[in-house]
Every structure is written in structure tokens, then in C-alpha cells.
Amino acid sequence: MRESVLAFLLGDPRAFKTKELARALDLPKQGYEYQCLKVALRHLQEEGLVQRLSGSRWAAVRPEEASPQGGEPPTEEELVVGTIKEFRRLWYVEPDGRERREDVAVRRDKLAGARDGDKVVLRLLPLARRAQGREGEVIEVLGRHGRTDVEMLALARRHGLSLEFPTDVADEAQAVPSRIPAEEIARRLDFRENECFTIDPVDAKDFDDAVSLEETDGGWWLGVHIADVAHYVRPGSAMDREAFRRGTSVYMVDGVFPMLPEHISNHICSLKEGKDRLTFSVFLNINKYGKLRDVRIRRSVIRSRKRFTYEEVQDILDRGEGEYLDTLRMMERVATMLMKKRFREGSVDFAVPEVGFVLDAAGHPLDIVPKKRLMSMRIIEEFMLLANRAIAQRIADMRPERPFVYRVHDLPDPEKIRELIDFLNHLGLRVQLDASSSLSFQHMIEQLRGRPEEGVVQDVTIRSMAKAVYSERNIGHFGLGFRHYTHFTSPIRRYPDLIVHRLLSHYVPESYGGDVEGSAPSARSLGDIARHSSIRERAAVEAERDSIRIKQVEFMKRHEGDEFDAIISGVTQYGLYVEILPTLVEGLVHIRTMEDDFYEYDKRRHSLVGTRRKRVWRLGDRVRVQVARVDAVELRIDFVLSDTAYPQERGEGGERGGVVTRGRKKKGSESTKSGGASRRGESPPASRTGGARGKGRRR
């Protein structure tokens, strides 16, 4: 309970009342679990990790908004993004977001030209200016709400994202020379004559990892070469402070908000084909059984032989011909061995489906297509996982213990796992799950592979688990089944990776032939960095999901009235959330449109049950739906069940029966009262997560 509460509050900048927290964590608002929540909050408050604010609201204690390695904490304005509304000649802003705060009043002379229905950025005025409620002034008018370009701009403002960098940051980046001094090369391992290359998505511009592989007697030497961002971004510098503030690059559907200026991320540090680049290399000696025998860490200089895309590598492997075929086949063989070994030892292989967008020149979505999980992707994934794990193991083995930043994933809440087991039993699945053993979860995934329930069970299982975060305390990574894990392989786009590079320079002196600048950060500073990075990562995930949702709504607007095959992805008191196949666009079939019966919500069985005909609509069922309404303002997609819906009727045992027939339902039915609640008392959330699956997994 404690870790779940802390992870949630760290991942959301807002403050919550206790009952709001209970709702967000899917806990009852009374009884034993609610009392446990209150106890957990008190303990976290005593530890200084959460604070109780006015109005009995709880929020995480935030690290100072400045680089812990230097610089003064900036003073930031409190901003709100929302829509201007007029009511009886009074003006107010209705804030954006799935969990909206109270409206903010705006005086006429503070509108800055905004009109009713405009999307704006508002600066909140001090509370003392107004006896009741909040008041603000418009500082930027973004445009008319509901327009896709305006909604994307509002999304960026809401999450504090910007393509522009402060002048001092941009100037500092431009001053970095592209030529590598000869004396710097002399301090490093010169790997330029050795074969190595990059394998990345087709639209990638920042290449921060290259790989090499050489066969030896009884095994291989795997080289993972990572852009040496720490050489250029020094502690306490303007670039460092801004990178810390951003925390991570954010990948939207139609572009990226980078953590570092383009001159650094896409040019100086990017491991481009045929260019000399400074790197941090880890060489991993693997025997023929996949066991790691030796690890060597060196600061190096490389010259990538080839810029591959995943599709190009997969094509070479499939056809059996092409550049570097022998090396790629060897990489495939080694990666397959590492992957099988990892799964045997407890890593959980969640095959989460993802989608991509086909956009026109103006950024409008032409199509939504499923992404294939290629073997070429698994090659890079396995090599990066091994490198990250080896680095963390090397630090953990040091004595005395050294302060470090780990990537951790806590054990799941036993109560949530009991609920998961109960749900699986109702699906007719008999599995043995142990909340302390990731291997039991992998066995369950293997047992379900290829079955119709696979996707739904994976989704429910993921939601039953804790979120992975950064921490200075190593508690292991449950989902991967690793005792030690960190993030080392993406310093261009993740701030914790940059910190890990700096720490390695201090802790592994043999890695570099020159002097190391400054001293290693303290454990307290690393704790602040870890917490702030976790917050920024959570914000990035939300922004990416929101951008996907905006594009989905734009795409579906032209499909109003069309029918699609779908799967029930969520069941609530409001109705059925359905996900169109294979585009993964999610929307709601409201319970008030299900007119063939009186339906009651069975939370334990994740189902709606008809009181007369005993018809059951269950999580994972296939259905046929029609797009009823697409709301570009609320980002809402409403469906109705088609008259040709798939067979869903069941008897007491849950067996499928005849075809659904639509009927009438009495108004005011007791079984539908819960279907009318909402964020503001009007309607349910537009989707369960506010977005959809689309970007790569974050481990």
C-alpha cells in the first residue's frame, strides 16, 4: 500500500483528498483497505515523503526544481491550461485534464483578447487577491478549442513541454565544437577500426546506442556503445540544469520534445554512420549458455559502419542476404539465447500490442496501423537489458556501497493479486500466482499464449502491478526478475542515464585515461534526482498518451456511423469500454444505450450482468460496435453495440448463448443509476487511461 500511494503521488503533480486517492487507486472509500490508506499516508508524512496541504489534500514532497549538482532553484509561475467560458457576463477558465481542478475566474481586463471557447494559458494570481476560489490572468491565447493543432499545443503547455530552449542553454550547446581533439582520443579506447553499427526506428534522428559482437572460444564479446553525453553536458551547466528540469525527451505522435538541444542530441552525440563519436562502452563476455563471465567498462571512440533500421535488419535476416549478414545472424542467435534464459529466470514477457500513425504532410492521420514486434527489435532490447543489468551489478558488488540511481519495480500488492486470481478463476483459468515471484507471472503468460483471453489478461495483470520508478534504494526489478538494474543506455533522452554515466566515471577509474571533473553526487542528491526523474517520466507517458488520443479522435471523426470489430477492454458502472481491432482506438458503450436488459455491474467478475435474461458482457469479449459520436473537444469517442453484435448471452455458468437482440429498458432503472456519474457529474471518463497504446515500453 505504502509504495503504491507514493508512486501515484510522485507521478501526479496535483494534490488529492483521501477519498480521491482511494478512487484513483481503485480502493473502497470505507472499511479496512481505506483505513490502511490513511495509515500509509500518515507514515509517509512522518517520513517527509508526502505533505498535507490546505483542504486536507495530500501531495508528494517535490525535490527542488533545479539541478542538485549546481545552480539556484528557479521560481516558477503556477500556470493552468484550459478553455475560456462566459456565463452571464462573467468569465472563467475550465482547466484541461482528466481530473479537472476547480474553475478559475478571470476579470474582463485580464482576458488578453480571449473569447468564449478559446484555449488559453492562464497565470494564477496569489490566493490573497480573492476571498473565495482562484483568479488568474490570460498570458497566451492558443486558438479555438477542439482544433487538433490547438489541442496539441495545449497538451504541450499543460505538460510544460517546449521545443525552444533558454538562450543560455542554446548558446552553450552551439559552442560545443564538432571536432574531437586528438588528446581526448588518446585518453580513450580507440574502437574506430572495429565493426559496430546502429539499429533504430526508421524515423529516429538521435542514435545513442551502437552494438558490436565478436565470437571467441566458448562464447562472445558483446559491445554496447553509448553516446558519451556526460563529456559534453557538465554538472551544473546551463544544459545540465535544463536537462534535469525536462527529465526526459517526450515522443509525441507528430514530433519530439527533446531533453537536450538538437545540436547535441541529433549531431554532436548522435552515433551517425561514418562519423567519429565519443562513447561509453561496456564489453560483456558471454559464454555459450548465456552466462556473463566478465564485464569491462571503457570510455571510447567509435565510428559506426552502418545506420540500420529495424525493418532493414529484419529483411536481411529473413532473406538470408545483405550487409553484415553473418554478424546479424550471430546477434540473432545470441539475443535469442539471452531472451530464453531471461524468461526462464523470471522476466515477464508482456507482448503488449502497439500502433503507429500514418500522417500526411500536414500531420493529419491517414491511418492507424499495428506495430509488429520484430526479432531485430528484440536483438537491441536484449543487448540493452544485459548492459543495464551488468552496470548495476558492477556497482552493487562494490564495497563500500556506493550511492547510485537504480531502476526499480516493487513487488505487486498481494491484495490486487488476489483480485487478479479471482478474476482469472471467473474466466475459467486456473493459474498459480505468487506476489513475490515474477516467475509465476511468466508461467501464466506462457500458459495463456495464443488464447483469446491473452491480451485482456495481460492488460489486467499490468494494472495490478506497481509502476517502475527511479530510486537511490535498490529493491530490484520485479517485472524483469533482476536483483540489480539501472538505466545506462539512453543518456540523450533520459536524465538518469546521464547521471549513471557520471557516476561510472567516478566509480570505475580504469574506464578513462583522463581526470574526472568534480565529485560524485551524494545519496541525498541522487534521491532528489530519482524522484524528479520519475515525476517527469510519468508526465511524459501522460503526454504521449494524450497525443495519441488527440490523433485517434481526429482519425475517428471521419468514421462516425461506421461499424467495427472490437474487444471489451474495460467494464465499469458506466458501461463497456471497447477497443477497436486492430487500431486499439478505445471508447465507451454507455450503459444507457444497452436497452435489451437491466444491467448490474459485477466488479469482481469485471462484467455487466443482465438481471432478466442473465446476459453477461465480460472483459475480453469480442463485440461489433458502431461509432455513435466523436467529440473533438472532450476527446471522447462513444459507441453503441451493433445490431449484428457477436453472440454474448450466457447462462449461469458463463457459457456463450444466442445472438443479442436489442430491446427497451425502463427509465430510472435501479441497475443503471451508477451509469450516470462523471468527472463533473455529467459523463464518465473518455477512456480508462486517457490515451492508447502506441509508444515503446518503459522498463
> And the C-alpha cell for 313?
535488419
Residue 592: per-residue pLDDT: 94
Q: pLDDT-based confidence at 127, cuts 50/70/90?
A: low
Half-sphere exposure of 517 (CA within 13 A, CB side): 11
453 closest CA partner among 608, 620, 567, 616: 620
Residue type, position 384, single letter: M
Give the least confident one: 103-117, 356-370, 458-472, 649-663.
649-663
Q: What is the pLDDT of residues 427-452, one digit of tens each?
A: 788 888 999 999 999 999 988 888 87
Strand 276-287 relative to strand 57-60, pairing: unpaired
Give the least confident one: 133-142, 217-226, 550-559, 648-657.
648-657
Q: pLDDT-based confidence at 605, cuts 50/70/90?
A: confident
Q: Which CATH superfamily is domain 79-145 in?
A: Nucleic acid-binding proteins (2.40.50.140)
> And the C-alpha cell for 447?
500458459
Residue 655: per-residue pLDDT: 37
129 pLDDT higher than 90: no
List where CATH 2.40.50.140 sits in the chain.
Answer: 79-145, 560-676
Please, what is the angle between helix 375-396 and helix 495-507, to 10°? 50
Most confident of 129-138, 492-501, 568-577: 492-501
Half-sphere exposure of 251 (CA within 13 A, CB side): 14
Residue 643: per-residue pLDDT: 73
Cβ atoms of residues 156 and 257 within 8 Å: yes
Strand 134-144 relative to strand 104-106, pairing: parallel
Fold of 560-676: OB fold (Dihydrolipoamide Acetyltransferase, E2P) (2.40.50)
Q: What is the DSSP letter of 685?
A: -
Q: pLDDT-based confidence at 681, cuts 50/70/90?
A: very low
Instruction: Write the CA distances from 3 to 37, 405, 527, 532, 537, integer angstroms.
Output: 11, 18, 15, 16, 17
Q: pLDDT-based confidence at 16, cuts 50/70/90?
A: confident
Cα–Cα distance between 299 and 362 in angstroms, integer?
42
Cβ atoms of residues 548 and 687 within 8 Å: no
Cα–Cα distance between 189 and 508 in angstroms, integer?
14
Residue 645: per-residue pLDDT: 60
Q: What is the mean pLDDT of residues 409-417?
A: 92
163 closest CA partner among 73, 232, 254, 230: 254
Task: Report the b/e string of 45-59 with b at 16+ CB within 10 A.
Answer: eeeebbeeeeeeebb
Residue 664: per-residue pLDDT: 32
Backbone torsion region of residue 450, taken as left when φ is above 0, otherwise alpha when ψ lies between -120 and 50, otherwise beta? left
- What does pLDDT average to over the chain? 86
Cα–Cα distance between 348 and 479 in angstroms, integer?
6
Give the least confident one: 88-97, 332-341, 416-425, 690-699.
690-699
Residue 262: per-residue pLDDT: 96
Q: What is the mean pLDDT of residues 263-275?
A: 97
CATH number of 2-60: 1.10.10.10
Q: In terms of residues, how long is the chain?
A: 699
Cα–Cα distance between 436 and 243 in angstroms, integer?
36
Largest CA distance in the chain: 83
Q: What is the pLDDT of residues 280-326, one digit of tens each?
A: 999 999 999 999 999 999 999 999 999 999 999 999 999 999 999 99
pTM (2 d.p.): 0.82
Q: pLDDT-based confidence at 78, cuts 50/70/90?
A: confident
Q: What is the pLDDT of residues 171-230, one digit of tens each?
A: 999 999 999 999 999 999 999 999 999 999 999 989 999 999 999 999 999 999 999 999
Cα–Cα distance between 588 and 609 in angstroms, integer?
17
10 pLDDT higher than 60: yes
Q: What is the mean pLDDT of residues 518-531?
A: 89
243 closest CA partner among 257, 253, 227: 257
Residue type, position 475, single letter: I
Q: pLDDT-based confidence at 32, cuts 50/70/90?
A: low
Q: pLDDT-based confidence at 120, cuts 50/70/90?
A: very high
Cβ atoms of residues 319 and 333 within 8 Å: no
Burial (Cβ within 10 Å: 0-12, 13-18, ≥19) of residue 246? buried
List where CATH 1.10.10.10 sits in the chain.
Answer: 2-60
Residue 19: per-residue pLDDT: 84
